[in-house]
Amino acid sequence: MLALEGVEVLDMTRVIPGTFGTMLLGDLGAEVLKVESPGRTEFVGSAVSPKGEENRREAIYFAPNRNKRSIVLNLKAEAGRQVFYRLALQADVIVEGFRPGVVKRLGVDYDTINKMNPRIIYCALSGYGQDGPYHTFPGHDINYISMAGILGLIGSREGSPVIPLNLVADLAGAPLYGALGILAALIARNKTNKGQYLDIAFMDGVISIMTFFTKSYFLSNAVPQRGETMLHGAYPYYGIYETQDGKYITIGCVEVHFWENLCRLLGREDYIPYHFTSEHYVRKSDDKKWEEIRSYLKQAFLTKTRDEWFELLIQNDIPAGKVYTMDEVFTDPQVLHRQMVIEVEHPTLGKIKQVGIAPKLSDTPGKVRSLAPLLGEHTDEILQKLGYNQEEIENLRREGAVS
């Protein structure tokens, strides 16, 4: 049994954030149907299924589309909308990531669907939300994290802000909160027998992630500055160091006992009194001793290779991590043990590697049941299940309503 077995999801998303969120639901057992547009849309960040059997290999390596089927509907055509309405009558969840107002113009908005299916849970992902002065503005991850205050805090004090890939808003701020909201709404529906509308904004999610860092600001109006707090690497007990082989090691000696362990290992017990104080949360100290300590650590870590340091630090109960390249990540023994890289058998292409499933449920674990589909691969199958006969399907295809 899978945790979300029997939950039917219509996925209207077109780009990575929404598609990643629905992948999380599919991994846990939900039946996810990608509702895609005719043709193939090429753009940066696209999560549209590839078209044609010659692109099968490209398709199946795209993990965010796994555990999904694909139907192509032209929602601008009345006949295409009617197919969608039939699907919505049977669905539990709809997820869309269009700019506000688009689904209403297409006639597949929450109010329309809710009248047909009051139990529907309708999740809308958008940059700034469905209302407010910015709700129509375009945007991408870099814009949301800059407006939410995170980008301004990433990087060194001397330099410009550093872009942290599109991980914060695109893959955490929206899809994780969207999936969480959907799960909460499913539980609520068990109590009320009613669905509801989920308004998930990328910027809202990013601001929520900032919760830990807002304490000092709300308490005393202290505004943290880039590169000036302990979690920015402003203090040598929490930072990145180059090693003898030109690679890098990280240490995270935030707790006093870890710092003591490091100082003793290096034979510098005199550094033990210099450790975390509450001011380190918000500002860099003027005490020059910290620069002395940092300089010493930089030289010390250059005396051994990254892997030698990792073994030595861990043996002495000191938080450490190797700065890995992608190929190193997926050969690491802990990653392999935790099944965060898996192989899925494909009938013609053999073993296909995929990123594993992060939530480890003891009784209802997630599973990769199918690899990603081609564009419209399941159109006919889905239409037949909805009650369309072959002649009707061919008519829909001729009308351009499906493909």
Q: Could you list the active site residues?
A: 140, 170
Question: How many residues can be counted in the chain?
Answer: 403
Q: DSSP E strands: which ranges in 120-228? A: 121-126, 196-201
Q: Cα separation of 251 and 234, whole Å?
A: 13
> How much is the CA Rg of the chain, to the nearest whole Å?
25
Task: Give the CB-side neighbour count of residue 377, counting CA atoms within 13 A.
Answer: 22
Q: Cα separation of 263 and 194, whole Å?
A: 59
Return the number of other C-beta atoms located less than 10 Å from residue 73's C-beta. 27
In which residue are the tokens 């918000």 written? 282
By C-alpha distance, which of 72, 21, 14 is closest to 46?
A: 14
Distances (CA, A) of 209 to 142, 205, 217, 341: 15, 6, 15, 27
Compute the CA torsion angle 213, 219, 225, 229 (nearest 10 deg): -60
DSSP state of 15: B
Q: Cα separation of 267 and 270, whole Å?
A: 9
Return the number of other C-beta atoms located less than 10 Å from residue 384's C-beta. 13
